[in-house]
Amino acid sequence: MPSLKSLRTRINSVKSTRKITSAMKMVAAAKLRRAQEQAQAARPYAERMERMLGSLAASLAGGEGGPALLAGTGKEQTYLIVAVSSDRGLCGGFNGSIARFVRNKARKLIVEGKTVKILCVGRKARDILKRDLEKNIVGTIDEIGRPQLGFHHAEKVAQRILHMYEAGEFDVCSVVYNRFKSAISQIVTDQQLIPFAPPVAVEPARGEAPKLVAPGDSQAIYEYEPDEGEILADLLPRNLSVQIYRALLESNASEHGARMTAMDNATRNAGDMINRLTLNYNRTRQAIITKELIEIISGAEAV
């Protein structure tokens, strides 16, 4: 039977753990709200960018080649996977699911005879992936978005990817991130960035009315200033930044959502544990008192 003192210390330690987890939950909830607002604010830009690129790409389609970012390098040998995770742990399955997805994808590609390179955004993905894919990891970008995630962070990541692309280090690039669905559910999403794949159908973002695209809108013959090629050359790298920015924002919101849920569970579990331990403690105390009484009474009877 555990001693009373050891029980007391355990109860206290679980109590302070509960304090920490519940504080973390509050913090995550506050951050989640901000992250969500930020993600929502970034949506219009990404949507319009997509629409514009779509019409540009359509008007260029049929023409030869186009910029390498649009047409690709013509091979599909080397894949770059950008894994977006968080820098900190204690957020449930958030990083684990990213790592699992990346690992499966990388294995599949390796079996097919492709070369796989992984760029980790966030420390956690690297920590998990380096166990069995260490030689595939080409770089890590961490401490991103501190104190607050901004567009320039995304631009930095995009610059790095572009440099690698121009140096011919990969042919296809995709980004894997947790898309924010709700505070308790995040969806691992795999999005191809290079070559640019026009979205099949843009689903309207939550809380926003579906965009009414006037008929004939996309078919309108645009005038270009300067010409298509130059605009496209300007727009494609920018689109890359925007897509990465969106991935980072979604991932950021997901991280806080995941942490909030995880910490909520932890707080509840700690509460249960405290109840159990307290019951145990009281029983033990009662048992000791009873034992002492019996000793006294039987001693008195013996006299």
Tell me the closest approach of the beta carbon of residue 139 to another protein, in angstroms.
17
- Asked if residues 55 and 222 have their Cβ atoms less than 8 Å apart, the reply is yes
Query: What's the CA angle centered on 213, arms 209 and 219, to 5 degrees?
Result: 165
Taking CA atoms, 119 is separated from 68, 160, 231, 275, in Å, by 21, 10, 28, 46
Q: Which amino acid is at 229?
A: G
Q: Quote the tokens at residue 139.
A: 């770089």
Which range of residues in 15-23, 146-154, 191-199, 257-265 is near another protein by CB under 8 A? 146-154
CA atoms of 179 and 250, how far apart (whole Å): 5
CB 81 within 8 A of CB 111: no
200-219 residues near another protein, rule: CB under 8 A: 214, 217
| Rounded Cα–Cα distance for residues 121 and 139 (Å) | 9
Closest to another protein by CB, 40 or 278: 40
Confirm or reject binding of residue 231 to another protein (CB under 8 A): yes
Cα–chain-centroid distance for residue 111? 26
The nearer residue to another protein, 89 or 198, going by C-beta atoms, is 198
CA pseudo-torsion sign 95, 96, 98, 99: positive
Question: What is the smallest separation between the CB atom of 116 and another protein, expressed in angstroms?
Answer: 27
91 is catalytic: yes
Q: Note whether 226 binds another protein by CB under 8 A.
A: yes
Does 166 engage in binding with another protein (CB under 8 A)?
Answer: no
Smallest gap from Cβ 35 to another protein, in A, equals 13
Q: Between residues 7 and 236, which has the closer beta carbon with respect to another protein?
A: 236
Tell me, what DSSP letter sits at residue 174?
Answer: E
**DSSP classification of residue 136:** G
Residue 76 binds another protein (CB under 8 A)? no
Cβ proximity to another protein, 75 vs 163, nearer residue: 163
Which of 235, 236, 253, 258 lies at the binding interface for another protein (CB under 8 A)? Answer: 235
Residue in 28, 53, 57, 91 annotated catalytic: 91
Token readout for 276 is 């159990």
Whole-number CA gyration radius for the chain: 28
Binding mask 29-48 for another protein (x = CB under 8 A): ---------x--xx-xxx-x
Q: Which residues are catalytic?
A: 91
| Residues in contact with another protein by the rule CB under 8 A | 38, 41-42, 44-46, 48-49, 52, 56, 150-151, 154, 163, 214, 217, 220-226, 230-231, 234-235, 238, 241-242, 245
